[in-house]
Amino acid sequence: MERVRVSFAGLEVDFVDRDRALSQVVELAEKGTFPVYVVYGPEGCGKTAFLRQTKAVLERDFGYSVVYANPLADKLEDVLQYTLTIKDVVRDVLGAFPEPYSRIVDVAISIASRVLKSFSRPRLAVLMDDIFQAIGVDKAEIYVKTLLNLIEWPPASYEKIVVLVFSSEGVTRFKVGRHSWATLRIMWNMNREGFKQLYDALPGGKPPFDDVWRLSGGNPRVLERLYRSGWSVDAAIEEIIRERRIKALAKMWGGDLGEVVEDPDYLWDNYPSTKNLIEDLIETNLIIEIWDRDPYSWIDDPPPERDLELGLGRFYAWQTPLHREAVRRALKEVG
C-alpha cells in the first residue's frame, strides 16, 4: 500500500504506521459501511492525516470515487477534495451554491448524491472530517441521518458505499451514539512505535524520546507543539492553558479537578456527584470517556487498559498528558 505525504511540523513526511486502522479501511472498502461510521478521537491524534491516507487507498486500490470535506482546514484547497473522475459533478455543484465554501458539508452531500445519479453503479466514499463544529453540534444528528439516507435510500443504485465521519467534539458520543444511525468507534493517539518514527523525522537536537512520549502520550500535534516551541514544555503548557481557558475550570472545580489529575477514573468512582465536572471536561476536549476496550470499538489499536503516567484510566482518559499538566499548573496558579 502506497503511503501519502502529509505535512508535519513544517516538513513533508510519509504517513506512518496506523497499520491496523488501514487494514480496517481495506475491510470497509470491500464490504461498504452500514450504518454510518462515526469515529471520535482526541484533537491532534491524527484523524485528518488518516483520512488523507484513507482517501488515497479507496481511490487507488479500490477504485472509489471519493468526496472529502474538512470545513476547518487551514488552506482552502484542503476544505474540499475529490477524485478527479468526478470533477465535472463537483464543478456543477460548486456552481449551484452561492457561497459553496461556507456550506461545504451540504456541498459534499450534494456531490455524493449527484455522483450516484451520474455514474452507473459507482463505488462512492464520503469522508467528513471534523464537520460537527462547522454545522453546529446541535445539527450533528440530523446530518448523520442524512448520510445514512444516502446509504439506505440512494437516489440511484451503487456498487458500494463508504461513509466515514470523524470528529474531535466531545459531545459526539451523546449526540450520535444514542441512535442506530451510526456505529461509533474511537481512535486514540499513536502507539509508541509509530510515534517514534515521527519523533525521528524531526531535525535538530531534541530531548530523549521517553520524555517526549511521557508528555505527549503519542499525540502528534503535541509533538509538533513541543518542537515548534523549541522543546519548551512551559511554553506549550501555557499555550494550552490560554486556549482552553483552563484557569476558569480550575477555579470552578478546585480539589475535585486535582483528583482527576491524579487519576481520571475518580470521575467514574464518584459518579454521579462528578456529573457536571465530566460534562465540562468532555466539552472542553480535555478528557475522553472510554466505554470499552474491545478492539472492535476502535479504529487502530486501543490504548493500554490503565496507565496513570499517561493519564489513562479504565473509564476516562486525559486526551494527552500535556493537557493534564496544563490543568495541574492552572490549579496551582489559582490555588
Binding site for Mg ion (CB under 5 A): 47-48
Q: What is the C-alpha to C-alpha distance for residues 196 and 180, in angstroms, rounded to an integer?
A: 38
Instruction: Tell me how crowded residue 234 is: count the other CB atoms within 10 A of its CB.
Output: 10
Q: What is the C-alpha to C-alpha distance for residues 116 and 174, in angstroms, rounded to an integer?
A: 31
| Identity of the amino acid at 283 | E
Nearest approach, Cβ of residue 185 and ligand ADP (Å): 14
Q: Does 7 bind ligand ADP (CB under 6 A)?
A: yes
- 310, interface contact from ligand ADP, Mg ion, none, CB < 5-8 Å by kind: none
Q: Does 224 bind ligand ADP (CB under 6 A)?
A: yes
Residue nearest to ligand ADP (CB): 46
In whole angstroms, what separates CA 3 from the centre of its chain?
19
Residues in Cβ contact with 141 at an 8 Å cutoff, skipping those fewer than 6 apart: 175, 176, 179, 181
Choice between 123 and 323, CB closer to ligand ADP: 323
How big is the site for ligand ADP, counted in residues (CB under 6 A)? 21
Choice between 130 and 265, CB closer to Mg ion: 130
Contacts to ligand ADP from residues 284-323, by CB under 6 A? none
Q: Which one among 33, 47, 66, 188 touches ligand ADP, defined by CB under 6 A?
A: 47
Q: Which stretch binds ligand ADP (CB under 6 A): 5-13, 26-34, 246-254, 272-280?
A: 5-13
- As given in the structure block, the three cell numbers for residue 297 are 470499538
- As given in the structure block, the three cell numbers for residue 187 are 481512535
Choice between 123 and 221, CB closer to Mg ion: 221
Q: What is the C-alpha to C-alpha distance for residues 123 and 161, in angstroms, rounded to an integer?
A: 6
- The answer to whether 216 and 325 have CB atoms below 8 angstroms apart is no
Helix, coil or strand: residue 251: helix
- 43, interface contact from ligand ADP, Mg ion, none, CB < 5-8 Å by kind: ligand ADP
- The answer to whether 325 and 215 have CB atoms below 8 angstroms apart is yes
Please calculate the CA angle 39-163-152 and round it to the nearest 5 degrees. 125
Q: Which one among 33, 44, 164, 264 touches ligand ADP, defined by CB under 6 A?
A: 44
Binding-site string for ligand ADP from residue 184 to residue 203, where x marks contact by CB under 6 A and - marks none: --------------x-----
- 44, interface contact from Mg ion, ligand ADP, none, CB < 5-8 Å by kind: ligand ADP
Which residue from 225, 270, 285, 276 is spatially nearest to 41, judged by alpha carbons?
A: 285
- The answer to whether 57 and 1 have CB atoms below 8 angstroms apart is yes
Q: Does 8 bind ligand ADP (CB under 6 A)?
A: yes
Q: Which one among 24, 38, 46, 319 touches ligand ADP, defined by CB under 6 A?
A: 46
Instruction: Tell me how crowded residue 316 is: count the other CB atoms within 10 A of its CB.
Output: 22
- 128, interface contact from ligand ADP, Mg ion, none, CB < 5-8 Å by kind: none
- As given in the structure block, the three cell numbers for residue 132 are 460537527
Q: Which stretch binds ligand ADP (CB under 6 A): 14-22, 28-36, 176-184, 241-249?
A: 14-22
Under the rule (CB under 6 A), what is the footprint of ligand ADP?
6-8, 13, 15-18, 41, 43-49, 168, 198, 220-221, 224
